[in-house]
Chain A
């Protein structure tokens, strides 16, 4: 099956400063794909190049097999985008703007689809308002409706939940999952990494304009996350046994609480066996596995190690 999006050797500089460096990745049709990275990583510039707001520095972007420069009329019809920045047009009401927006894409207004978007995004009480009269959350909802009004095959959500309340976030993600099940491919960026972990089939992480990870979400988390084992001992330790050194042990001052880091590729049984051999009497224990957030911080160098591991 042809890729929903293919990016090849994409680069972009602003005033001589490279912001996207030789980026390549592809998104399969029907996928929910997360593009993550800290502020300034180059995510929004990449998205802007995909949708046509930003000229390509070098490289190539194809959407559904069509070049986004040469065949822009086709590719832009296939894409819908919710920009990070709120776009304001105070001349038209929510309903009028939605009707107009479908026309820009060369498709006639589909009242049933428009009504569905209005209802699902909770815009019905606000149809007669201009954007200036909408709250921040409502503006965001309106932008999502606008991005979907022409039924795009690839929906790009650039931090769509920034600054919106929990209820809307949940509602939005439910809706995104629903349209994804109906065949729409999703590319999203978000700073809510827990959401990305729950939503995305695959995740790419960018840092300083470069791709530093691209894997299936569960594989990325499994491979790079760290398990921590906290042990409460019957008998306080005065010193840490040398055989525990590979597990980066940390002993609390009272000698009763010991923290150990367990590599993801090592079975917990091996460590338990070692504890028996060392004759450490364990009163209680707790395990903690880091998630995408810890992996992200680790990969982007924003935090040396998670959970002291």
Chain B
């Protein structure tokens, strides 16, 4: 009997199933998870692309629309990666559905990777559509497309981990939205989405280097436009280190079952 059970077991199926479930989950509420962020980003694109885009220039050789689009694309990736893991895990905790997973053979590493990959799928989808819409307003040079994809994936991965951590520590929906409204949003806006930090007076320029979002945005823009406020390697290195730290933290929390198992 036990031998039969062991034979039928497919060790990767729990991971594949959880990944599938997480992707299906956000598609079920696509108007909220995909359409809304795409419309929001499109409004930004319209404002900065169709109205101001051709009239302003903050970076030599590029109009404002070309400057701002990489930041808006990455903003879509970041926000949606964070929203996917944080809302899904928090709702599971809040409504008790997490128990359904805790009693299954899904391992902590499978758990993290399934949630992370689903968040990356959503982040990438939103980022890709935003970029697609942006082509109506400006053409980007795509200097290093592979590095740009790498940077976008890193940003998505990083914020998926942050979403997991936020969902574990959040006590209620208010706390969860505070992470998004009072931490991520200001850091994005102050991280150089809408302006290069080199135009800031001191001490704001120097302070901007302490903003981890700056490295993600600048690295991505560097890969797309070929220029940025800092080198791509530094941006990638700092972002990679933050992503690795958050991943280790999330893995430790989930491995321990912190606030998941009593």
A residues bordering B, Cβ < 8 Å? 14, 45, 48, 51-55, 64, 72-74, 76-79, 81, 83, 85-89, 91-92, 96, 100-101, 103-108, 146, 153, 183
The residue on A at minimum CB distance from B262 is A54
The residue that B9 contacts in the complex, of A54, A87, A107, with Cβ under 8 A, is: A107
Q: Verify B20–A52 contact, CB threshold 8 A.
A: no
The residue that B14 contacts in the complex, of A51, A91, A96, A106, with Cβ under 8 A, is: A106
Interchain CA distance A141-B99 in the complex, whole Å: 17
Q: Verify A78–B5 contact, CB threshold 8 A.
A: yes
Most chain A beta-carbon neighbours within 10 Å: one of B9, B29, B107: B9
The residue that B24 contacts in the complex, of A45, A76, A91, with Cβ under 8 A, is: A91
Least distance between A114 CB and chain B CB atoms (Å)? 15
Least distance between A109 CB and chain B CB atoms (Å)? 10
Bitwise interface map of B from 1 to 35 toward A, beta carbon under 8 Å scored 1, else 0: 11001101111011011101100110011000000
Least distance between B222 CB and chain A CB atoms (Å)? 39
**Contact A77:B9 (CB < 8 A) given known A52-B103, A105-B14, A153-B1:** yes
Interchain CA distance A83-B18 in the complex, whole Å: 20
Name B72-123 residues within 8 Å CB distance of A.
95-97, 99-107
Report A-chain residues with C-beta under 8 Å of the C-beta of B20: 100, 103
Most chain B beta-carbon neighbours within 10 Å: one of A76, A106, A153: A106
The residue that B28 contacts in the complex, of A72, A85, A91, A106, with Cβ under 8 A, is: A91
Q: Verify B104–A105 contact, CB threshold 8 A.
A: yes
The residue on A at minimum CB distance from B18 is A104
Least distance between A144 CB and chain B CB atoms (Å)? 13
The residue that B105 contacts in the complex, of A54, A64, A105, with Cβ under 8 A, is: A105
Report A-chain residues with C-beta under 8 Å of the C-beta of B103: 51-53, 76, 79, 81
Least distance between B158 CB and chain A CB atoms (Å)? 26
Report B-chain residues with C-beta under 8 Å of the C-beta of A100: 17, 20-21
Interchain CA distance A64-B1 in the complex, whole Å: 11
**Contact A64:B2 (CB < 8 A) given known A92-B24, A108-B10:** yes
Report A-chain residues with C-beta under 8 Å of the C-beta of B95: 87-89
The residue on A at minimum CB distance from B29 is A91
Q: Verify A77–B105 contact, CB threshold 8 A.
A: yes
Q: Verify B17–A104 contact, CB threshold 8 A.
A: yes
Report A-chain residues with C-beta under 8 Å of the C-beta of B99: 53, 83, 85, 87
Q: Verify B9–A89 contact, CB threshold 8 A.
A: no
Q: Verify A54–B24 contact, CB threshold 8 A.
A: no
The residue that B261 contacts in the complex, of A52, A77, A101, A146, with Cβ under 8 A, is: A52
**Contact A87:B105 (CB < 8 A) given known A77-B9, A103-B16, A104-B14:** no
Least distance between B111 CB and chain A CB atoms (Å)? 11
Q: Does B257 contact A (CB under 8 A)?
A: yes
The residue on A at minimum CB distance from B97 is A89
Report B-chain residues with C-beta under 8 Å of the C-beta of A14: 262
The residue that B11 contacts in the complex, of A72, A86, A87, A106, with Cβ under 8 A, is: A106
